[in-house]
Structure 1
Amino acid sequence: MSENKRNGRHGKKQNLFQKAAPVLIGTVVLLLAAVALYGVFQANRGKLSANQTGNAQVKKEQAPSSDTTKDQEEKTAASETTTSKTNDNDEDVEAATKDSKKLRVAKGKNHNEAAKDYAYDPKWVQDVVDGRAVNDGQRLCFLTFDDGVNHEVTPQILDVLKKEQVHATFFVVGNTIGDKTKDILERQISEGNSIGIHSFDHDYDKLYPGRTADSSRIAKEAEDTQAALKKQLGQDFQTTSWRYPGGHMSWHNMVQADDALAAQGLHWVDWNAMSGDAEPASTRPKTADEMVAYQEKSITEYPDVKLRVVLMHDAADKQVTVAALPRIIQFYRDKGFKFGILE
């Protein structure tokens, strides 16, 4: 073949290649671009799938299972029950505290903690009765009972006081105090009453030989009775009220006896109203009606000082006093008296 023909053919091939080359290059570029885009798509798809899986896992972890929800509900219910029990316990503690105040003797007193609001100094009370002091407040009445303590009449008196919701002072005789009467003494305290001393033996001949006060004997009986009360009611017990058997006004040489009592922190208290239940048999009221009338008449014998100390007794034979007591209480209520106790 001639050289010209070969050169012609070669030229034609070269021209065809030159014309096809751009197309081939474009196609390759497009293929490469497509491959790159596909790779990016696959990568993004993987990330999206991973994110969805992660979010689902987080939601799964955050969402409580039915068992967890049940446990939480049970814990909540238990917590509410505990709170309820705690509140109930608080109420029980408060009630127990109140009961404790009633049962417990106030330190250094002759009554419980709850009675402090209506307890009065016996010296001030006697000073008002005698005109040495003035009651410029509400009219006051002090119901007092001598000669106990016993299981016959004292509990009946306490029953009436509790029913009428008033309180009194019991002047007890030392030789009646012991294990057998401890329950009555404790009841007197727990129900808001107070306890004073009325000697140890209640023997006029020993206390006032020849009608003259024996100060040493009186001091000894006061000391012994205080000790007997402490033995039964605890060492916190301490009364400051004393009533002379027969009354302060009935005997001679009382200054030394008064001083001897004062040295023990005691002060005597008499009365300015009477039920008449210790009068001689010939003049003693025989019925509740007679006793109420006697009591009402007795107050006319003393000045009206807006304060009354009522003398009564809770010895074993004082059934008329028990019967008359509700009406005596009502008598003072009707006249606007507030009831108090002596410390």
Structure 2
Amino acid sequence: MSRVSFPVPLVAGLAYGVAAGACWGVIFLAPLLVPDFSPFQLSEARYIAYGVMSGALLLPRWRSVAGRIPVKGWGGLFCLGVIGNIAYYVLVGAAVRLTGIATTAITTGFLPVLIAVFGMREPGALQARTLWPSLLLMIIGITLTGMAAFGHAAGGTSDWVHRAEGMACAAAGQGSWTGFAILNARWMRRLPDVGAGEWGLATGVATGLLGLAGLPFAGFGSGMHATSCWLGFIGVSTGVAVIASVLGGTFWNACSRRLPMTLSGQMAVGETLFALLYGCLWSDHGLSGVQIVAVILLIGSVAISAVAHRHL
């Protein structure tokens, strides 16, 4: 009986993808930790902090990195900052407030499917006939999880309206991040001399500048908050910036550099799984039987995809 062997870059890419998912899962908790602040205010604080930290880390090698990124590359970084960071986080934050962590995570869980489908035209991608078993398992798993989540709805008209609005925000965020994943992978292929960590920090600098530009519109002076609220807000925003933006972004870039998009895109399912885990820990409620089956299907879909990619 022959063994199934996996090349080191594939194993490393999968590990980086899991690490990125674990980091990104925390963004679903942030809106619930500081409910007195709007999703846009959370986004502004997170990305200004991200920009400051990225700039500080990049400063010692700024000339070297900046010299390897052309003018068009910086335009691409600002575009990535808008669609993959600011817009996505505002939409996810609004969705969590409206419909909760589980439903938001489930809706955005379709990201891997979209990325894999759109990534079929990218270099190193597999064809649909090879990917369909993995994609089918993923769709079934996410659908089951969604059914379980809506089964806990209160049933009132206002509750269903909020859920519909929340899912619309989550779906819009899904589209935003799909565009980010595809464009980010393309830019990294165009600039092979720029390391994954360097590209992530450069993205942070661009996003931080965008955050500063939007600061006058954040409405920080329109409400009165206690000192403890401000301290909690600063702590949560900074923590999310470090964990989700700096670490998560670096892990994701390393994953994208080692895996074809059809596989790296599916690794984004880790964000959904970790978000569900963190949501259970926060609410002190375990997963239902249907949700456990869905999680097994989601993990199985990525495992099948990994086996299909082992010879690339």
TM-score, reference length from structure 2: 0.24
Identify the structure with bigger relative contact order (alpha carbons < 8 Å, sequence gap 6+). 2
Computing the radius of gyration from Cα coordinates, the structure with the larger value is 1
Query: Which structure has the highest helix share of the two?
Result: 2
* TM-score, length of structure 1 as denominator length: 0.22
